[in-house]
Amino acid sequence: MHLLFSEEVDFSTNRVIDWLYYNDEKYEKHIDHNKAQKDHFNFEDKTIAVSFGGNITDPIFKVNDIKDPVDINSTWFRRPTINSKTLSPEKQNFGVYPKEYLEYSNQKRMRTFWDFLCYNLQKTKKLGSYEIVDLNKPIILKKAQEHNLTIPKTLITNSIDELRNFFNLCNQKIITKSLGSVIPEYKHQVNHPKDHYLSFYQLTKLIDNIDTAPKKFAPSLFQECIDKEYEIRSIYLNGELYSACIFSQLNEQTKVDMRNRPANHPTRYIPYQLNQAIESSITSLMQELTLDYGAIDIIKGIDGQYYFLEINPVGQYGDVSLQCNYYLNKKIAEYLINNSND
Amino acid sequence: MIDQSNKYKDLIQIPEDESIPFDMHYICVSEKKTSNLEEKFVYMKKYRALGSITDFYKKNSNIIDIDS
């Protein structure tokens, strides 16, 4: 059985399941326990035992569903979310012990259990990472530079004076983006017209006028704005890079952030081969980060230079795979099948 | 998604403060039409999730028969 850690709805996971299904492979899917349904992998209908210590050096796992033992042949940490199930309302107010404390204690214990389980699964046949679902952006930029990748001029500051100096140094054209994770998308229902809503989200923002910018702010990330010839999205999968050239500069709206696009105006993608030196640098960076999967953003400037931007360890690959005919869903399924523990 | 922040400036009022990062002042807004997701997506046992009949599949695909 192949165990897939994913979200409630992830269309890339569905496409990999198509290929597992095609190959008559058994699979189970684990999602956030608070959203899990009966057919998701959890321990309401299974028992688990992990033995180790004494003469046993490698832990022995026993997972049983109601009738039979379950063998986990491989694990795909696509988008792991480990939250324990919240107690049902009728069980929350049992006795006088505060329900918040009970919930907190329960969550902590179950988190430790899942951490231990996934820690062991990570040592067997797996793809993706349980621990690394989010990377520290400045650390990755620094490490990329150490691996001979060019990065844009970057400033992290909470000083308006430092920002003004940097703005002038970068020809009065800089961008700001989140130092860490972007804010979650928020959907706000509006009354008129009734069938509309407002979606709040975050994009990379071009700053070309410092006078109207906030004067007080927490430490934030700023980079020089690179005039790009095109954008490159590379999918790193077990030592191989699958790259796409994305012509986001052809549309005024997608010049700074390619997500700022109308649904009926798709951006053009074509398969792209990065040069050997850049591929080697990315590979050595991924090896240092112990990542076997990542979606990497690069831009090629009109100055001819390739600029590394960031790595998303759980990034989407569907657009690159589909538009460049890379068949990454098939490759992932085959990797899980061919690298099984049995 | 097209950024329509200028149209909804009043709705995004993030206070200027030493504890709020610079980029938070540039939250984007887009108007979207509510689509009837039930028509597009159905729960498919095969996926243990919502799935859709996409352009990848022919209209006579048996994918719903498999999963329902």
Tens-place pLDDT, residues A192-221: 677 788 888 888 889 999 998 999 999 999
Same domain, residue pair A55 and A197: no
Q: B43 to chain A: nearest residue by CA?
A: A9
Same domain, residue pair A171 and A302: no
Same domain, residue pair A8 and A122: yes
The answer to whether A218 faces chain B, any CB pair under 8 Å, is yes
B24: which chain A residues are within 8 Å (Cβ-Cβ)? 183
B6: which chain A residues are within 8 Å (Cβ-Cβ)? none
> Residue B33 burial by CB count (10 A; 0-12/13-18/19+): exposed, middle or buried?
exposed
Please give the pLDDT value at position A102: 82
Same domain, residue pair A302 and A160: no
A34 and A83 Cβ atoms separated by less than 8 Å? yes
> How many structural domains are present in chain A?
3
Is A190 a domain residue? yes
Same domain, residue pair A202 and A264: no
Check CB contact under 8 Å for B47 and A179: no
Q: Of the candidates A178, A203, A225, which is a domain's last residue?
A: A225
Task: Give residue for tokens 């990315």.
Answer: A282
Same domain, residue pair A286 and A147: yes
Pairing of strands A240-246, A205-207: unpaired
Same domain, residue pair A173 and A261: no
Check CB contact under 8 Å for A183 and B1: no
Check CB contact under 8 Å for A13 and B25: no
Cα–Cα dist A175/A206, whole Å: 4
Q: How many CB atoms lie within 10 A of CB B8?
A: 17
Is A215 a domain residue? yes
Please give the pLDDT value at position A292: 94
pLDDT tens digits, residue range B22-54?
A: 999 888 888 887 776 666 677 888 888 877 765
Query: Domain range for residue A194?
Result: 154-225
Cis peptide before A193 (omega within 30 of 0): yes
State the angle between helix axes of A11-22 and A328-338 in degrees (0 to 180), rounded to the nearest 10. 60
Please give the pLDDT value at position B67: 42
Same domain, residue pair A114 and A9: yes
Residue of B36 and A141 predicted with greater confidence: A141
Please give the pLDDT value at position A194: 73
Partner residue facing B22 (CB), from A21, A31, A217: A217
Measured in angstroms, the CA of B46 and the nearest CA of chain A are apart by 8
CA distances from A126 to A22, A60, A114, A144, A293 (A): 20, 17, 16, 25, 11
CA distances from B11 to A176, A192, A216, A337 (A): 21, 15, 21, 50
Check CB contact under 8 Å for A199 and B12: no
- φ, ψ of residue A24 to 5 degrees: the values are 55, 35
Q: A41 to chain B: nearest residue by CA?
A: B48
Check CB contact under 8 Å for B25 and A183: no
Same domain, residue pair A158 and A147: no
A221: which chain B residues are within 8 Å (Cβ-Cβ)? 23
Same domain, residue pair A12 and A140: no
Interface of A with B in 59-98 (CB under 8 A): none
Measured in angstroms, the CA of B2 and the nearest CA of chain A are apart by 5
Measured in angstroms, the CA of A266 and the nearest CA of chain B are apart by 11
- Helix (H), strand (E) at residue A38: none
What percentage of chain A reaches a pLDDT higher than 70? Answer: 90
Is A339 a domain residue? no
pLDDT tens digits, residue range A113-140?
A: 888 888 888 887 899 998 888 899 999 9
Is A342 a domain residue? no
The number of residues making up chain A comes to 342
Check CB contact under 8 Å for A199 and B3: no
A302 and A228 Cβ atoms separated by less than 8 Å? yes
Is A318 a domain residue? no
Partner residue facing B29 (CB), from A13, A37, A199: A199
Q: Of the candidates A65, A98, A131, which is a domain's last residue?
A: A131
| 3-class SS of residue B42 | strand
Q: How far apart are the first and last CA of chain B?
A: 33
Is A67 a domain residue? yes
**Domain limits of chain B?**
1-32, 34-68
pLDDT tens digits, residue range A210-252?
A: 998 999 999 999 999 999 999 999 999 999 999 999 988 777 6
Same domain, residue pair A140 and A256: yes
> Which positions in chain B have a beta carbon within 8 angstroms of at least one beta carbon in chain A?
1-3, 8, 11-12, 16-34, 41, 44-52
Check CB contact under 8 Å for B27 and A183: yes
pLDDT tens digits, residue range A92-102?
A: 666 777 778 88
A259: which chain B residues are within 8 Å (Cβ-Cβ)? 1
Pairing of strands A2-5, A27-30: parallel
Measured in angstroms, the CA of B68 and the nearest CA of chain A are apart by 13
Is A334 a domain residue? no
Please give the pLDDT value at position A253: 65
- φ, ψ of residue A20 to 5 degrees: the values are -65, -40
A307 and A141 Cβ atoms separated by less than 8 Å? no
> Which candidate in B23, B33, B42, B63 is best for mutational testing of the A interface (most A CBs within 10 A)?
B23
Please give the pLDDT value at position A48: 84
